[in-house]
Amino acid sequence: MDLWSAAKTTLRSKRFWLWQIVGVFIYAIPVAVRFATSSNVLPILSLLETPWIDHYVPGNLVEKILVGAFFPGGAGAVAGEIFFSNRNGTIIQGRSKYFARLGGALAWTATWTIFQFWGNLQNIMGPYGGNIFEYPSVYPLNLLIASFSIFTPDVIHYIKRSAVWGYHRFQGKNALISRSSKLISRFALLQRLCHFMLGGKTGR
C-alpha cells in the first residue's frame, strides 16, 4: 500500500482515534486543574514532586512521565504501528512493531514540540503566574519519555487482560457459591421431606 493510502486507512482506524482522543484528554487534565485552582501545584501528584535538575528535569517529572506515556508519545506510537501495518498490508510484529511505534512517538512528540516552542514564544501567562507552554530546556526530556512510551500499549493490554481474568474468576467463584447454595437448599428440602415421611420421628 502506498503512503497516501496507508495514511487514509490509518485515519479511518477506530483504535487510532481512541488513542488520540484519550491521550489528549489525559494531557488536558493537569492543565485544567492548574487553570481551575490558579496554582502550578497539583493536588495529588505534588506529593510525588522530584528535585529539579537544572532546567532540564522539572519537579513534576512523575506527571510528565504519566502524561507523556499517553500523549504525545503513546498516541504517536499507536499511530505509527497502525500506519506501518497498513503500509505493509499486514499486522507488524516483534522488532518491526516497536520500531514503528518509536517512529510514530518521536514524530508526534516532535510536532507537539514545535507547537510548544511557538506557544512559548508568545509568552502567554496562565492564572498560576507562569507561561502556559513548556520551556525549550525540557524538550529533550519529552523526546526521551516518548521513546519509552512505545511500551504503553503493552502495559494497557496487560492491565486489561488482568482485569478481564480477575472479573471472570470472580464470576466463577460467585457461580460456585450459587451452585453450592442451591445444593444446600435441596439437601435441606430433602431432609425435611424425609422427616415428614417418617412422621416427624428421627428414629428409635
3-class SS of residue 109 = helix
pLDDT for the residue 196: 56
Q: Count other Cβ atoms within 10 Å, centred on residue 41.
A: 13
d(CA 19, CA 77): 10
Q: Please, what is the Cα angle at 28 between 22 and 33, to 5 degrees?
A: 135
Q: What are phi and psi of 84, to 5 degrees?
A: -70, -25
The string of pLDDT tens digits covering residues 133-163 is: 999 999 999 999 999 999 999 999 999 888 8
Residue (of 45, 83, 62, 75) closest to 149 by Cα position: 75
Domain spans, the chain: 3-151
pLDDT for the residue 159: 92
- Region 107-124: what's the mean pLDDT? 96
pLDDT for the residue 129: 84
pLDDT for the residue 17: 97
d(CA 89, CA 76): 20
- Region 24-32: what's the mean pLDDT? 95
d(CA 191, CA 204): 17
d(CA 2, CA 25): 32
Please state, rounded to an integer, the average pLDDT across all residues of the chain: 87
Q: Count other Cβ atoms within 10 Å, centred on residue 87.
A: 18
The string of pLDDT tens digits covering residues 65-105 is: 999 999 999 999 999 999 999 999 999 999 999 999 999 99
Which segments of the chain are extended strands (E)? none
Q: Is the pLDDT of residue 177 over 60?
A: yes
pLDDT for the residue 202: 44
